[in-house]
């Protein structure tokens, strides 16, 4: 079973850069690495995805090493509104289906 | 609609009653997922549909849980004889899964909050 491992929680201050790393040792060859953000009482929402190297969008950057066994979500200059739970997403490569498993998530708290 | 729609948004029921939760996915999305999220916890995979068939039901907690999807669109998650431990937010997501690279981009609804008294 594809298992993703992330830190349970992180604290940061406004204006700092936050890096959250996820380990996904069993990621399938043809799978993207995808990250989600979830605010309280809302469904998760897609932030960013990548296959290898670096991807950047208006919200975040995603760094993926050559072996693809981990990925790092980078949030530049966080604000209080970035306080949320961040999930990396893995697919079960043995099931032959699109069974996507969420890890425990990283609870980010941004302090003033 | 533009996004994934779930109903009801909130449901309070008594222990032992049956409940039905509905999910309207984004039009054209072939894959549909149900997850459960207990208070303060992560997302627990329940079941996944590709079209109208469910290749993977392994996440359903017990035989009191069932789900169906008709017309490749709307899905209903049914919980029979509800128990207090069924209280959670039930989240539905859809995606346009296909062949080739698996993007894992799921679009979530706002969830149905179930409270079993």
Inter-residue contact A3 to A70 (CB < 8 Å): no
Distances B75 to A20, A83, B67 between C-alpha atoms, Å: 34, 32, 7
Residue A97 to residue B104, Cβ atoms within 8 A: no
Residue of A nearest to B111 (CA): A43
Closest in A30, A43, A104 to B101, CB measured: A30
**Average pLDDT for residues B90-117, to the nearest whole number?**
82
Average pLDDT, whole number, for chain B?
90
Q: Give me A89's structure tokens.
A: 């997403």
Residue B104 to residue A105, Cβ atoms within 8 A: no
- Contacting residues of A for B91, CB less than 8 Å apart: 43-44
Residue of B nearest to A97 (CA): B55
Cis peptide before B8 (omega within 30 of 0): yes
Would you mind telling me the total number of residues written for chain B in this entry?
117
Number of DSSP helices (H) and strands (E) in chain B, helices first: 0, 11
Q: What phi and psi values does residue A85 have, to the nearest 5 degrees?
A: -105, 135
The model's confidence at residue A93, banded by pLDDT at 50, 70 and 90, is low
Percent of chain B with pLDDT over 90: 66
Which of A9, A2, A1, A5 has its CA nearest to residue A84?
A: A9
User: Helices (DSSP H) in chain A: which residue ranges?
Assistant: none
Is residue B72 helix, strand or coil? coil
The model's confidence at residue A81, banded by pLDDT at 50, 70 and 90, is very high
Average pLDDT, whole number, for chain A?
88
Residue B104 to residue A42, Cβ atoms within 8 A: no
Q: Virtual CA dihedral for A52, A74, A86, A105, nearest 10 degrees?
A: 70
User: Helices (DSSP H) in B13-64: which residue ranges?
Assistant: none
Residue B110 to residue A43, Cβ atoms within 8 A: yes
Angle made by CA atoms B57, B61, B63, in degrees to the nearest 5: 80
Residue B108 to residue A49, Cβ atoms within 8 A: no
Which of B14, B13, B26, B10 has its CA nearest to residue B109?
A: B26
Reply yes or no on whether the pLDDT at A1 is more than 50. no
Angle made by CA atoms B54, B111, A10, in degrees to the nearest 5: 105
Residue of B nearest to A96 (CA): B55
Residue of B nearest to A31 (CA): B102
Among the residue ranges A16-20, A44-48, B88-92, B96-100, the one predicted with the least confidence is: B96-100
- Contacting residues of A for B105, CB less than 8 Å apart: 32, 34, 46, 49
Residue A98 to residue B107, Cβ atoms within 8 A: no
Reply yes or no on whether the pLDDT at A97 is more than 90. no
Inter-residue contact B23 to B4 (CB < 8 Å): yes
**Average pLDDT for residues B23-48, to the nearest whole number?**
91
Which of A23, A104, A21, A9 has its CA nearest to residue A68?
A: A23
Among the residue ranges A27-36, A53-62, B41-50, B62-71, the one predicted with the least confidence is: A27-36
């Amino acid at each position: 079973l594809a298992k993703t491992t992330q830190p349970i929680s992180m604290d940061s201050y406004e204006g700092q850069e936050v890096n959250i790393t996820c380990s996904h040792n069993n990621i399938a060859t043809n799978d993207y690495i995808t990250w989600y953000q979830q605010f309280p009482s809302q469904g998760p929402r897609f932030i960013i995805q990548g296959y290898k190297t670096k991807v950047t969008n208006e919200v975040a950057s995603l760094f993926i090493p050559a072996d693809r066994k981990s990925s790092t979500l980078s949030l530049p200059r966080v604000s209080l509104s970035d306080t949320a739970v961040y999930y990396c997403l893995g697919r079960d490569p043995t099931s032959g289906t699109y069974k996507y498993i969420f890890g425990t998530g990283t609870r980010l708290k941004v302090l003033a | 609609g533009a996004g994934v729609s779930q109903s009801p948004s909130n449901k309070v029921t008594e222990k032992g009653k049956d409940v039905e939760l509905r999910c309207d996915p984004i039009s054209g999305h072939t894959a549909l997922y149900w997850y459960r999220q207990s208070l303060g916890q992560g997302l627990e995979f329940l079941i996944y549909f590709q079209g109208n068939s469910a290749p993977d039901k392994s996440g359903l907690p017990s035989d009191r849980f069932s789900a169906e999807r008709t017309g490749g669109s709307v899905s209903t998650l049914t919980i029979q004889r509800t128990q207090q431990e069924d209280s959670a937010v039930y989240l539905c997501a859809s995606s346009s899964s296909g062949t080739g690279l698996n993007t894992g981009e799921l679009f979530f609804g706002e969830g149905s909050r179930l409270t079993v008294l």
